[in-house]
Amino acid sequence: MKKKQFKTESKKILDLMINSVYSNKDIFLRELISNASDAIDKLYYKSLTDRKVKLDKDDFCIKVNIDKEARTISIIDNGIGMSEQELDENLGTIAKSGSSLFKEMNEKNKDINIIGQFGVGFYSAFMVAKEIRVLSKAYGSNDAYEWISDGALGYEVNKASKKDVGTEITLLLKDNNENDNYDEFLEQRRIEGIIKKYSDYVKYPIIMQKEVSSDDKKKKPQVKDETINSMIPIWKRNESEVTKEEYNSFYSDKFYDFEEPAKVIHSSVEGQIAYNSLLFIPSHAPYDYYTKEYEKGLQLYSNGVLIMDKCADLLPDYFSFVKGLVDSEDISLNISREMLQQDRQLKLIAKSIEKKIKITLEDILKDDRSTYEKIFDAFGMQLKYGIYSSYGMNNETLKDLLLFYSSKEKKRITLKEYISNMKEGQEKIYYASGDSIDKIDLLPNVERFKDKDYEVLYLCDYVDEFTIQALMEYEGKKFANVASESTDIDDPKEKEELEKRNKEFEDMFKVMKEALPEVKNIKFTNKLKNHPVCLSTEGNISLEMEKIMNTMPTGENVKADVVLEINGSHPIAEKLEKLYKNDKEQLAIYTKILYNQARLIEGMTIENPTELTNAICDLLSK
Ligand code: ADP
């Protein structure tokens, strides 16, 4: 067969591997053993679900052989094998693990050291090998094929011969150089150590041949098989016996994440439903987390046998960031995807898992605030979206997991903390929304609340205000936007006086409104200290929501009911009153300018900037 070229992305990863300066090359063995174990899983699963396939679990194993003279290491499995086409497709193209590594690297421009913690699958073998041969016979086929490559110059797939089904991978080690000694991978003890360190939990025996010394020195030394790994899956071990390194290594190996998880949740549940679960809360969002490509789900095992890689039904959408696995004897091996959705046991497990995640998050929030904040930075948006998108149905689960920035504390707080800090007689939870904390902090409406010593929550994520609206209330306290008409923190006497004044100038406001048909109302206010004007809204739609909803592709044009409020004690108020008496035309121009200024303060765009600047220039030239 003619030499074929690797796909472009694969080539880049291969270059990294071949020229790798990464010091921890050991992980190549973990990757190959993990592939072998997956391949056995696939065949074992077939034998359990298909009565025609007769195989005994005890026959499955992974062998690791060293040949010092030939300078090779072989990894041999009796798993499902690969056909000619599979050899070509699976090993010629970058696989899942590799492609996510690649994207992470592109995105964050991380250095090459992440390879070690991350694993890039099969290709990592090129860190130690100058040539790799993969001899494989697929289950159900009579033919075997061999894939050969030196990494750099492409690969070949040729017909070959092999007795048993399965795969045999042979690495011809690179030559030693002044920096690296590849001979160490020919040492039995060294390889055993690597297997114990990274692959101890692999479910099938990893067997090496060991020389048995004989009393009779003249006889050739005998060899015998020895199983290196303990074979107990990590999630079936006692939590107290598993080290942090083991959890982390398992996590990065299985879930392709190069950063340590923020939290490991290992549990063994008994009773009405029995299961083991090992869950991880990642410490950062995967590159594709907030895209349609991201697939949620936990691995589902039935008594140690993997039956599904991403069982979506085990996780609610708002906890879709959680990674991990569930192993239960109560789930039937033969269950189909369709039946699984109806499965009562699975539903019970999912409920229990959800509760566990919720409680764990609450505990982290209570005991380890900085870790929680990190988790919230990555996934808070998803939690908020969980409230908003379910129209409040998930409020109970999620409301105590939210954080919002506080004007008083100058950091993020929970709603519970807000309530416990409330002033005497305070009836509502006040919030303001805008593009950023700094911008919100400068809003005239916010200043007024701060002056009266009220705590205000600053909302700057686009889902925030929608979330607040879906929540409706927290512990009986309703939410109120500081820019909305309904907030009422003013002294009743002052209020009365203001109402009187507004009534008095009703006709003037009518004239002004004719110049500004887009606003619902214009009036004097006493809530502004130094600022001449501000905008507020009547009804449920705030200015921020109007901004957001109009950027959505639904095509609806949403309008907030806007009120232009003018500072009654600012000289501009008097000026307006004068103009109303003497020059109604000029009053209209002033009104437009004031309105546009208020929009600018709110961080909104103005419809006709030329008109505004011309009007201001006219005034300046007078
Ligand atoms: P990943 O394991 O992340 O999918 P790899 O590059 O390690 O990526 O492997 C690519 C694919 O090659 C695997 O998904 C699997 O289908 C196949 N493969 C690798 N090793 C074996 C093996 N020993 N037996 C059968 N298939 C294998």
Residue closest via CA to ligand 1's atom 12 equals 90
Question: Contact at 8 Å (CB) between 588 and 574?
Answer: no
Q: State the pLDDT at residue 14.
A: 77
Percent of the chain with pLDDT over 70: 92
Range 290-301 average pLDDT: 91
Structural domain includes residue 601 = yes
Cα separation, 152 vs 410, whole angstroms: 55
**Which atom number of ligand 1 is nearest to the Cα of residue 79?**
24
Does the pLDDT value for residue 589 go beyond 70? yes
Q: State the pLDDT at residue 110.
A: 47
99-149 pLDDT, tens digit each: 555 555 555 444 444 444 444 678 889 989 999 999 999 999 999 999 999
Enter the tokens of residue 125. 């073998």
Q: Are residues 142 and 68 in the same domain?
A: yes
Q: Which residue has the higher pLDDT, 470 or 21?
A: 470
**Ligand 1 pocket: which of 96, 122, 155, 255 to mutate (most atoms within 8 A of CB):** 122
Q: State the pLDDT at residue 97.
A: 52
Structural domain includes residue 391 = no
Structural domain that includes position 533: 492-620
Residue 452: φ, ψ to 5°: -90, 15
Residue closest via CA to ligand 1's atom 11 equals 90
CATH code of 574's domain: 1.20.120.790
Q: Are residues 522 and 502 in the same domain?
A: yes
414-435 pLDDT, tens digit each: 999 999 999 998 999 999 998 8
pTM: 0.73
The pLDDT confidence band at residue 1, using thresholds 50, 70 and 90, is low
Read out DSSP for 16-31? Answer: HHHT---S-TTHHHHH
Question: Contact at 8 Å (CB) between 168 and 76?
Answer: yes
Cα separation, 459 vs 403, whole angstroms: 10
Q: State the pLDDT at residue 119.
A: 47
The pLDDT confidence band at residue 20, using thresholds 50, 70 and 90, is low
Q: State the pLDDT at residue 118.
A: 46
Distances 488 to 11, 48, 116, 239, 480 between C-alpha atoms, Å: 65, 69, 59, 54, 10
Q: Are residues 101 and 204 in the same domain?
A: yes
Q: Are residues 245 and 347 in the same domain?
A: yes
Structural domain includes residue 387 = no
Q: Are residues 442 and 338 in the same domain?
A: no
**Which atom number of ligand 1 is nearest to the Cα of residue 35?**
20
User: Which of 212, 227, 242 delimits the end of a domain?
Assistant: 227
Where helices occur in 424-474 by DSSP H, the ranges are 437-441, 444-451, 464-471
Enter the tokens of residue 131. 């040539």
3-state secondary structure of 137: strand
For ligand 1, the distance from its centroid to the CA atom of residue 106, given in whole angstroms, is 23
The pLDDT confidence band at residue 17, using thresholds 50, 70 and 90, is confident
Average pLDDT value for the chain: 88
**Which atom number of ligand 1 is nearest to the Cα of residue 80?**
25
Range 256-271 average pLDDT: 92
Question: Contact at 8 Å (CB) between 98 and 120?
Answer: yes
For ligand 1, the distance from its centroid to the CA atom of residue 286, given in whole angstroms, is 22
Q: Are residues 430 and 445 in the same domain?
A: yes
Fill in the amino acid letter for 492.
Answer: P
Structural domain includes residue 240 = yes
Residue 251: φ, ψ to 5°: -65, -50
Q: Are residues 506 and 476 in the same domain?
A: no
CA dihedral 179, 183, 188, 194 (to 10 degrees): 30
For ligand 1, the distance from its centroid to the CA atom of residue 427, given in whole angstroms, is 61
CATH code of 100's domain: 3.30.565.10
User: Which of 455, 481, 507 delimits the end of a domain?
Assistant: 481
Q: State the pLDDT at residue 448.
A: 84
Does the pLDDT value for residue 187 go beyond 70? yes
Could you tell me if residue 81 is left (phi over 0), alpha (psi between -120 and 50 degrees) or otherwise beta? left
Residue closest via CA to ligand 1's atom 17 equals 90
Fill in the amino acid letter for 69.
Answer: E
Question: Contact at 8 Å (CB) between 124 and 33?
Answer: no
Q: State the pLDDT at residue 230.
A: 87
Instruction: Give the residue carrying structure tokens 């109302």.
Output: 521
Query: Parallel, antiparallel, or unpaired for β 456-459 and 404-406?
Result: antiparallel
Structural domain includes residue 459 = yes
Question: Contact at 8 Å (CB) between 311 and 332?
Answer: no
In the chain the first and final C-alpha atoms are separated, in Å, by 88
Structural domain includes residue 385 = no
Range 315-327 average pLDDT: 96
Q: Are residues 429 and 498 in the same domain?
A: no
**Which atom number of ligand 1 is nearest to the Cα of residue 42?**
25
Does the pLDDT value for residue 94 go beyond 50? yes
Q: How many domains does the chain have?
A: 4
Cα separation, 602 vs 311, whole angstroms: 45
For residue 46, with 0-12 CB atoms within 10 Å meaning exposed, 13-18 middle and 19 or more buried, which class applies?
A: middle
Residue closest via CA to ligand 1's atom 22 equals 36
Selection from 189-203, 211-225, 332-346 with the highest mean pLDDT: 189-203
50-92 pLDDT, tens digit each: 878 778 888 999 999 999 999 999 999 999 999 999 999 888 7
3-state secondary structure of 572: helix
529-586 pLDDT, tens digit each: 788 999 988 887 888 888 777 777 766 678 889 999 999 889 999 999 999 999 999 9
Q: Are residues 253 and 173 in the same domain?
A: no
Structural domain includes residue 126 = yes
Q: Are residues 463 and 517 in the same domain?
A: no
Q: Which residue has the higher pLDDT, 402 or 293?
A: 402
Lowest-confidence segment of 257-271, 382-396, 529-543, 583-597 by average pLDDT: 529-543
CATH code of 416's domain: 3.40.50.11260
Enter the tokens of residue 317. 């959408």
Q: State the pLDDT at residue 113.
A: 46
Q: Are residues 57 and 198 in the same domain?
A: yes
Residue closest via CA to ligand 1's atom 16 equals 90
Fill in the amino acid letter for 107.
Answer: E
Cα separation, 361 vs 622, whole angstroms: 63
**Which atom number of ligand 1 is nearest to the Cα of residue 36?**
23
Q: State the pLDDT at residue 109.
A: 44
Pocket of ligand 1 (CB under 6 A): 31, 35-36, 39, 77, 79-82, 90-91, 95-98, 121-123, 167
Cα separation, 486 vs 537, whole angstroms: 9
Q: State the pLDDT at residue 363.
A: 98
User: Which of 368, 389, 418 delimits the end of a domain?
Assistant: 368
Structural domain includes residue 462 = yes
451-469 pLDDT, tens digit each: 889 999 999 998 999 999 8
Cα separation, 527 vs 90, whole angstroms: 68
Lowest-confidence segment of 85-89, 94-98, 423-427, 481-485 by average pLDDT: 94-98
**Ligand 1 pocket: which of 35, 40, 42 to mutate (most atoms within 8 A of CB):** 35
Residue closest via CA to ligand 1's atom 19 equals 35
Q: Are residues 186 and 66 in the same domain?
A: yes
